[in-house]
Structure 1
Amino acid sequence: MKTLPLLLVPLFALTLGAAPAPLGTVDNLRLIERVDPVFPNEVTLQGISRGIVACVVDVDTQGRVEDVLITAHTHRSFARVVREALPLWRFEPAKLNGRPVPAQTQLTFTIEAVGVVVSMDSGTYVRTRFENVLGQPWDYRTFNLQELDAIPVPQKTVVPAYPREIAERNRGTVRVNFYIDETGAVRVPIAEPDAPLELAGAAVAAVREWKFSPPLRNGRPVLAFASQDFNFKP
């Protein structure tokens, strides 16, 4: 199929906030099977009785958890039990115009010895408040680009391409929000809601293949949040 190259605007701009799924007739994810994380008993020896973990989850078209990205936690033991539990979750997959599609959801776990409270925001990146959480500081969190030693250097970029018939009826700017993990890999990219569906799909597919130098803060690899604007022109 003949494709046309797009004009890529090489401008990075941090945005922490909402980035819902693309426009269309959308049925959001619905949780149908949940396995709660087990309270990590080793933390009781440290006098810890409560932990908080924030994460973003990629869910495939079968409703299975495909990727788990921890974006903040108050103790690594709580992050571990969340990672162990989430692959056992099952969802009714998101649907776009009646067809199952991959989707993301933001989950925040509050874990105590007496139980677990989970909040879910389907298809959205929610601003994580990076301050002390009820007296418990974050042991791990996401950093914005301005907090890094330097902006990560792109090592591999793929310019989106789309079929001629789509190019003739669509144009405009698409912003894709994504995380860059400690290895420089792109994780859970998602387009902002004002983009045409076909353009958003092309932009997200391209960003998934990008690779960066590891984000560094004080010389140490960290998780970073970034966004990229794509200007689609036939």
Structure 2
Amino acid sequence: MHRAAFLLLVLAFTGCASVSQRGLENPHIETSSFSYDAGTYRGEAEVYVVAVVNAQGQLGDWLIAGSSDPAAEPVAEQVLRMLYFHPARWQGGRQAGPLGILLYLAGGQGVAASTVADALSVSMTPRPTDRMVRIFQLEQLDATPVLLKHVPPARVEGRGAVTLQFWVDESGAVRLPSVVAGFDDGLSRAALDAVSQWKFSAPLKAGRPVTALFRQQFEFR
């Protein structure tokens, strides 16, 4: 038997990749180029996506983090279903993990590039460009969202720490939870199951609902 202790980590997400567990190979895109029907979108655009790739290399849930042209986003969603991925790896085994995806669309041809998912909200800090940003760091919000529904992890055998990364969307729902440090199967599953049921107040930026990036550490004792 154990007691689970948890602490919400409010971090400045600068260089977040460095806090991931040593030896972890992040998910990445297998296919880097693609084509699409140019009639569905005739312009040029960059679309930024955060997603979770499961242990089988399949794309799970995703969020569009920003784009240079909202009209390109429906095409980006179609393209995501065409791509192939390599899952994360830890100590020789496959793991689900977060992935940042940069899509470049132009005239029916495109290129996809992998990046660290939590780096997107850093690289997309509002700048004097036409890019539309939808995901923000906690420190950029009007206030830290309030945890309205808290579900503790189930009691499981084992001790250790597990760190999860997830996003809270405009409705306050938890999206794309994944393990970024501490890969014990039983502890990770207990933490993921708990966080998936949490509910927050809507993150606000300048009074409007946005999506925010969180990390949560669970200590199982």
State TM-score, norm by structure 1.
0.74
Shift in Å at residue 107 of structure 1?
0.8
Tell me what 1:101 maps to.
Answer: 95
Of residues 190, 196, 203, the one that matches 1:215 is 203
Matched, 1:112 2:109: no
Aligned amino acid, residue 207 of structure 1: V
Farther off after superposition, 210-219 or 195-204: 195-204
Matched, 1:36 2:34: yes
Shift in Å at residue 196 of structure 1?
5.6
Contact 2:151-2:198 within 8 A present in 1 as well: yes
Matched ranges for 1:2-21 at <5 A: 3-9=1-7, 11-16=8-13, 17-19=15-17
Structure 2 segments unaligned to the other structure (5+ residues):
none
How has the CA–CA distance of structure 1 residues 98 and 222 changed in structure 2, closer, same or farther, with 3 Å as cutoff? same
Tell me what 2:56 maps to.
Answer: 62
How has the CA–CA distance of structure 1 residues 210 and 35 changed in structure 2, closer, same or farther, with 3 Å as cutoff? farther
C-alpha RMSD of the superposition: 3.2
How many Å separate the matches in 2 of 1:91 and 1:162?
33
How has the CA–CA distance of structure 1 residues 35 and 155 changed in structure 2, closer, same or farther, with 3 Å as cutoff? farther
How many Å separate the matches in 1 of 2:57 and 2:183?
24
How has the CA–CA distance of structure 1 residues 70 and 37 changed in structure 2, closer, same or farther, with 3 Å as cutoff? farther
State TM-score, norm by structure 2.
0.77
SS in 1 for 2:66: strand
| Identical amino acids, percent of aligned pairs | 28
Shift in Å at residue 188 of structure 1?
1.9
Aligned amino acid, residue 73 of structure 1: S
Shift in Å at residue 22 of structure 1?
4.3
CA deviations on 1:56-83 (whole Å, 9 max, x unpaired) are 1212233221112111212212222111
Tell me what 1:128 maps to.
Answer: 123
